Amino acid sequence: MKKGITLLVVALLLLTSFSNVFAGGQQEAVEAAPEVATPAEPVEIQFWTRQTQSERQEQIQVLLDVFQLLNPDIKVTMLPVEDNEFSTQLAAAGKANRPNLIETSAFYAMSYNVDNIVDSSANKAIINSVGADSFFPGSLNNVQMGDGSYFGVPFHFAAQGIWYRTDWFEEAGLEAPNTWENILKAAEYFNDPANKQYGILIGTKPENYTQQTFTHLATANDAHLFDAEGNLAVTSPEFKEAVEYYKALSEFTPPGPQTWRARDYYIQGKMAMFYYSTYIMDDLSLAEVAASSLTSENFSDLGGGTFDSNLVKNTAFVPLISNTESSGYGEIMTLSVLKSEDAAKTAATQRLAEFFLSDENYIPYLHVAPGGMLAMKTSVIESDQFINDPKGVYANYGKAKINEIAGGLGAMQDFLKTGESLFPESASILAKNLVGQMLYNVTIEDKDIDDEIANLEKEIKRLLEN
């Protein structure tokens, strides 16, 4: 962002924020935080964010500058941290240098709560201040432990599911790929390796993308790592059926171990469906963003191509997949307050979180990554201001499609929960990529499914015993 534009944005945000102070909006958020004596020197707090791209950091810093102008008694230091380095960095920081507010996935926030470093009381106070009924129905369940405490505050989410060519499906007379049966039927129908065209992209490398894809398909068959009573359930009939189904689908994905990068086939018109999050929305709608997927650099059997301006119109998204039940999936990002022995720091941290979640600041934050950051407040995702992001991504989709994309939030499932039972141990299993390795062995190494499931069970038991 150029300096002149940044200054303009700051000025506009200041005007908006000050008008809300006088209207009572910001003042109300400040009063919601615990009352402490104003120190002579500013209270210093740390905010860790997963937004590591320089452009995103610049835009977030503008909001932080505004916050500090409105709250001169608080000084905020932002530190960008890669997802896979969050836990390591937290451990290295130690208790004395621990951040006060973190933007991280619910997956990680839950694990930090298990480690007893999350301030669940502060998180609950923020939710009450913002208003529990302002969030999407069901979203609070995704940040709540079994005892009712909150390990984070819902911030934004990226829905995941199947993106598909509606024009191809209509011409073929096929139904939308929203069930196991429909997905497999379409994948086989459109698969044409001789012409370098494939039916679907799912993960087959031993990594998290593969685990994410499998989780969505497996929970649609009521398959979980643990049953509701806490027994290991990877040898259940439902889990085996899910592995068999995943193996069948893998026959119609590009050859070799594949990950998200194979989206290039879809963007170049050589794939009918692919599994991806809403972070793909700008790639499908903006030529400059799609450019990296329109070359032959990543796959030698792709010749490159030109941007298809009709791709957004001819693409639909399936947020809910069903077989024996309907399941949504996605990554929910939280704002989570970490424990501090300094009440002034906790109060300042709550004030910052409430500032981020007030509509006039929440929308600019979400616009840092249009598509990748979908609103978790119902009033925001339906607003004209949210739809009109600076890059024009959402305008290319329209309100109806945006709401359709967000439709899976209330039905989101993952391996951390089975019914109402919560199993934080699943986070450790997935962090070790045990499920991803098993799927790689089955799909790429063509190993026996029963043997690999038995090995998975042994590896999980070994992990949980340590």
Residue 151 and residue 88 share a domain: yes
* Co-location of 292 and 375 in the same domain: no
Which residues are 80's β-sheet partners?
49
Assess contact for 257 and 444: CB atoms under 8 A: yes
Contact (CB, 8 A) for 136 and 410: yes
* In a shared domain, residues 88 and 163: no
Reading the block at residue 123, the tokens are 């998180």
Of 364, 387, 406, the residue at which a domain comes to its end is: 406
CA distances from 191 to 56, 113, 132, 254, 302 (A): 38, 45, 46, 9, 15
Helix (H) or strand (E) holding 328: strand 326-337
* Domain stop point among 386, 406, 426: 406
Handedness of CA 129, 130, 133, 138 (dihedral sign): negative
For residues 276 and 86, give the distance between their C-alpha atoms in angstroms, rounded to a whole number: 23
Instruction: Please give the backbone phi and psi of residue 302, each rounded to the nearest 5 degrees, phi first.
Output: -105, 130
Provide the domain limits for residue 458.
159-328+410-465
Report the DSSP beta bridge partners of residue 101: 47, 337
CATH code (residue 119): 3.40.190.10
Note whether 102 and 221 are same-domain residues. Answer: no
Could you tell me if 235 and 271 are in contact, meaning their C-beta atoms sit under 8 angstroms apart?
no
Tens place of pLDDT per residue across the chain (466 aa): 433 334 334 444 444 443 343 333 333 334 455 555 555 799 999 999 999 999 999 999 999 999 999 999 999 999 999 876 888 899 899 888 999 999 998 888 888 888 899 999 999 999 999 999 999 877 888 898 888 899 999 999 999 999 999 999 999 999 999 999 999 999 999 999 999 999 999 999 999 899 999 999 999 999 999 999 999 999 999 999 999 999 999 999 999 999 999 999 999 999 999 999 999 999 999 999 999 999 999 999 999 999 999 999 999 999 999 999 999 998 899 999 999 999 999 999 999 999 999 999 999 999 999 988 999 998 898 899 999 999 999 988 888 888 888 777 777 889 988 887 888 888 889 888 999 999 999 999 999 999 999 999 999 999 999 8
Q: How far apart are CA 226 and CA 341, in angstroms?
A: 36
Looking at the fold, whether 19 and 56 belong to one and the same domain comes out as: yes
Tell whether 183 and 316 lie within a shared domain: yes
Question: Do 50 and 136 belong together in one domain?
Answer: yes
Q: 422 and 368 in one domain?
A: no
Q: Are 268 and 416 part of one and the same domain?
A: yes
Among residues 390, 406, 422, the one where a domain terminates is: 406
User: Could you give the number of structural domains in the chain?
Assistant: 2
In this structure, the answer to whether residues 11 and 63 fall within a common structural domain is: yes
- Please check whether residues 300 and 421 belong to one and the same domain: yes
Question: 309 and 191 in one domain?
Answer: yes
Q: How many beta carbons lie within 10 A of that of residue 329, not counting itself?
A: 25
- Cβ neighbors of 90 (< 8 A, separation 6 or more) are 98, 99, 112, 117
